[in-house]
A and B are shown apart, each in its own frame.
Chain A
């Protein structure tokens, strides 16, 4: 239609069409693909799997449907759980119930790793490991108050009670039922150390980045730990930071990748890298950050 090399190909010149294209490419939103995917998986694994998506061939979740409201997705081979027949998603159900092999070297769940590296570091079996001493290892400030109205705390990024990763944290109703913007939960002891009151603006910094948020001070937080919940939207109520002059970041701004040596064991090319992520199950959450009360006049 427009002439040129793209003729005859699907048009993706608008945002809505792009969204449609993405939806068309995923088995969770395009029934044909999920059925095809499961059929392929049947061939590879020899287990009966295609019935998980049968009946969904003609299901196609459109962008308009997602605008109207949340839509339950189609069971698809990329995921390890099944929502077929109305059951709720739980991970690894396909592996356990349909005996699809786990994505491990042996295809089974591993509990004990018989590898000399793992044995050397004492992690052949799952074991508790305390948080790293970030001061000795990476030169971060020591934990605790340094007398300069700053306190260095362990920085954790749990999921809030309403959300996984995307949960409309820019939705006005949800924001009206909380604090209306990004927040960091602190204990009274840490707040007192830096003279922070409930709802004051603070900044959390470390060598990786800076986060600007308002403090929620509560006695249910243990001293020495702050929570910054996952995926609070950076498009809502995030001012410029004093530390850098740029806009403050999100919960991940202060996390950093720590490559654990044992993750490199085996050389099986299973490591996946993305921006600030090393997978599977990257280790970047058990961080240390310094919290400081900042000027309460914020610039957007």
Chain B
């Protein structure tokens, strides 16, 4: 048994309203670029319908997935290795663009620059492939809400199959109308046929979390993977000539954030969590003869995280304890294996998919209601399951390789849950006979209800963070997410990642439960200063923290261990001032308040240094914690009057801000350190101050001076609102060259801004901000 972990997803189709928010946000995050115009990593299909690409489920045409050969062994449906190599020059069954759709845009420009005419202008459709005018004849979601059903509905492969057995089963008539939505992403299978089809071996499954990715360096554009995937969820980028696919938003998942599609799902129907699976058992499970046994086989591959044997084996394989804890709390495990209401999509493809679905209940056919029965009465409901609007056969073809009994069992559980909870909501005693009739007990049914109906964000997305040895290898250029280090320190007030809000500052966001935990909280306990040496403050003792790279016991600041660059020694006084400022401007949690004596002591060593800090230190010591924290949140988080983000003052909410923030991060990297942003933006003033104090004084001061105008504006803002922190800012500015200006006008002049000029476009228009520079 080889225990491995995988991130899985469950989608509750009862809740999907077909709004396509998931599709649009995924598109904007990942595929909004040339070459990928026709690609939707996440798409939502109306069923019955042909899907996207059209009729992708017809494996007699597309040869996707696996099959069993004559000897009962797994083989790729499209052929083995030799056959694939022979067909490599023109992939025999690869879908063409018209099977997806020809992407188009509109001539928007003409709306503003058309010449005077007899009628006002209109933007006509233009092909994104040829650039010419085009007629729109198909789209990524043409049969949305059953559009075109009379002409195309019969082309749904499942409808076709069911009608072969009985013509009456699915009628496209008004009285028998049914539909539901099926959102789809890559299944990140345990036995991916896309990977097996790739001749160059560019597709791989990650050991740590099972996410299947395409190595963009190794892909050679043979495009066998497109044929190989039976779900058609791997696409060919026609501009770069490489294959691309859903990445499960791995940069987000690695830091504990849900995928973009999950995060933005309006219906809150998605669940994310860990599965533990036995990697050695996958092939055997996928090879069981009867397709209807594949579900049970896959259930056996998914392991019980509460089983001590599994836990021991998992530890032996190197799965960390917090991951095992996450696996035990996993909502997808609960839905799939405990409550058994989630089912895999098309298990008969033998790829062992890992994105499962809870089938939708649908209204009872009107006949029952018209006969005067209460459709939701427990007794009636079970009888009605077989007469639901959505034919059980249709759901069975999707989820259980045709086994209607299994689907019915799930629907009965869901119906029982409704009936059970309805009784409780009406004030009756829980009727245990209802859960018993579906093989559950009352508590279990209630827990299932909680998970399915009212679970909070942190219960729906249980995502452990990545553990990294060489974290710097993972930093993707341009992304702002920091990575946790695998050091022992948990950081004070570390919140569970599921709750973390990562948009700090600026827009009136929800206050953080705790501040950037690693900032400066290194020194454990007070250590008396040695003779002649400055206080503990100036000498880091351990490598943990926001800016590691300082080896343990590094003595003088000039002698940093780690990525070795000779840094000129910063003035010790400035160092202490910066560090004290960084702490005093941070969120005042208990640990910070505990350090106040330390800060006082350190500052006292330099004449005049304490004065600027005294009011804040007094405030920290003298105010009850809740009030202190509330004040802080009110002054620094909920408004923008005292934004602690340096580039907010200069670049506001414009598009340039992103680039500017990237430059901050680059400055940190240039000094050879790993930045654990801990959810903060890189221009967060306490972070910059700590960078200057602890890592690279010269670079840090250069940054501060570059944003001197922001510091001064902040100082003036604090002064205007009579906040004691103003003097801290003054102390920081005092360490920088040049006199501090007296008012905002002087700040503008100092920063080189001329008189206001007319500018249309992306100016921040906030009169308290500095005007955006034209560069």
Contact = CB atoms under 8 A, between A and B. Distances in A.
Interface of A: 14-17, 20, 55, 58-60, 62-65, 67-68, 161-162, 170, 172-181, 183, 185, 187-188, 191, 197-199, 216-223, 234-240, 246-247, 300
Contact of A240 (B111, B119, B177): B119
Nearest to B762: A64
B173 interface: yes
**Sorted from nearest, which 6 A-B pairs have the closest CB atoms?**
A198-B148, A180-B136, A216-B147, A62-B765, A219-B172, A177-B141
B151 interface: yes
B308 to A, nearest CB: 43
Given A60-B766, A176-B141, A247-B120, 6 more contacts: A62-B765, A68-B653, A177-B20, A218-B147, A219-B173, A237-B106
B103 A238 contact: no
B139 A64 contact: no
A146 to B, nearest CB: 23
A220 B120 contact: no
Contact of A176 (B121, B140, B652, B765): B140
B423 interface: no
Contact of A237 (B32, B121, B124, B639): B124
B124 A59 contact: no
Contacts of A175: 106
B23 interface: yes
Contacts of A180: 104, 125, 136, 139
Contact of A197 (B124, B151, B177, B764): B151
B653 A64 contact: yes
Interface of B: 17-20, 23-24, 27-28, 32, 103-106, 108, 111, 118-125, 136-137, 139-142, 144-153, 172-174, 177, 179, 508, 638-639, 641, 652-655, 758, 760-766
A235 B103 contact: no
B139 A176 contact: yes
B151 A174 contact: no
Contacts of A236: 106, 122-123
A173 B25 CA distance: 10
B152 A198 contact: yes
Q: Is the interface of B mostly helix, strand, loop or mixed?
A: loop
Given A177-B24, A217-B151, A172 B122 contact: no
B174 to A, nearest CB: 6
A239 B121 CA distance: 10
Contacts of B763: 64
Contacts of B141: 176-178
B145 A220 contact: yes
Contacts of A162: 19-20
13 contacts: A62-B766, A64-B654, A65-B653, A174-B24, A175-B106, A198-B147, A198-B148, A218-B148, A220-B149, A235-B122, A237-B122, A237-B123, A246-B118
B125 A237 contact: yes
Given A177-B20, A179-B136, A181-B136, A219 B653 contact: no
B23 A177 contact: yes
Given A58-B639, A161-B19, A235-B111, A199 B762 contact: no
B147 A67 contact: no
Contacts of B151: 197-198, 217
B653 A199 contact: no
B765 A63 contact: yes
A56 to B, nearest CB: 9
A16 B145 CA distance: 38
A177 B136 contact: no
B149 A246 contact: no
Contact of B122 (A216, A223, A234): A234
A22 to B, nearest CB: 13
A216 B148 contact: yes
Contacts of A237: 106, 122-125, 136
Contact of A179 (B142, B174, B641): B142
B585 to A, nearest CB: 21
Contacts of A216: 147-148
A173 B33 CA distance: 12
A214 B190 CA distance: 44
A187 B174 contact: yes
Given A219-B177, A222-B174, A161 B147 contact: no
B213 to A, nearest CB: 24
Given A62-B766, A219-B174, A220-B145, A176 B104 contact: yes
B124 A300 contact: yes
Given A178-B144, A198-B151, A240-B119, A67 B136 contact: no
A222 B172 CA distance: 12
B760 A218 contact: no
Contact of A172 (B105, B118, B758, B761): B105
A238 B124 CA distance: 8
Contacts of B174: 187, 219-223
Nearest to B138: A199
Contacts of A239: 122
A60 B765 CA distance: 10
Given A68-B653, A170-B123, A218-B147, A177 B106 contact: no
A178 B145 CA distance: 10
A58, A67, A172, A240: which has the most chain B beta carbons within 10 Å? A172
A26 B32 CA distance: 34
B148 to A, nearest CB: 4
B484 to A, nearest CB: 29
A219 B149 contact: yes
